[in-house]
Structure 1
């Protein structure tokens, strides 16, 4: 099953974080993303600050609807950084990978191309 079509698990706080092996198995499913200090991360380059703010707002609304929000910010005035991590379990959950896959799919459709 494609990660982006999986449902978010609401009871993740009662689960253990993914193991290194599970993370290594899931990373190829989200090719634009990387593992940085235990967080699942990606950066999107925008044309300028206003475009970055718009993208940040779209990502924030998307994540809020799913009730699984990332760390997100703008750096260098035009780069939107997104990092998934499940603080309730102190590590990555499958939900983080599902949301990364959904966000990648959504932004590919929005941009009509690659991230």
Structure 2
């Protein structure tokens, strides 16, 4: 099953973070993302600051609708960083990979709007 079509598990507080092996197995399924400081991260380039703010807000809205929130930031006035991490378990969960896959798919559907 494609990661982007898997359901988000809402209550993961009693689950263990993914192991290094599980993370290594899942990374190829989200090629737009990399592991940085224990988080699943990607950087997106926008045309300028206004576009970066709009893009960040769009990603925040998307994540809120999906019920799993990323860390977000704007750097150098045009780059938006998105990082998935499940704070409730102190590590990465399958939800983080599902959301990375969903966000990548959502962005492909909006190709050219910001990137």
Report the TM-score range of the alignment, normalised by the length of the smaller protein: over 0.9
Q: For residues 23-63 of structure 1, what are the alpha-carbon distances to aligned partners after superposition, in whole Å with 9 as ceiling and x for unaligned?
A: 00000000010000100000000001111111100100011
The number of aligned residues is 114
Gaps of 5+ in 2: none
Structure 1 Cα separation of the partners of residues 107 and 66 of structure 2: 16
Return the TM-score normalized by structure 1.
0.96
Return the TM-score normalized by structure 2.
0.96
Gaps of 5+ in 1: none
Structure 2 Cα separation of the partners of residues 78 and 108 of structure 1: 19
Q: Superposition RMSD on alpha carbons, in Å?
A: 1.3
Alignment-derived partner of residue 98 in structure 1: 98
- How far 1:67 moved relative to its partner? 1.5
Alignment-derived partner of residue 79 in structure 1: 79
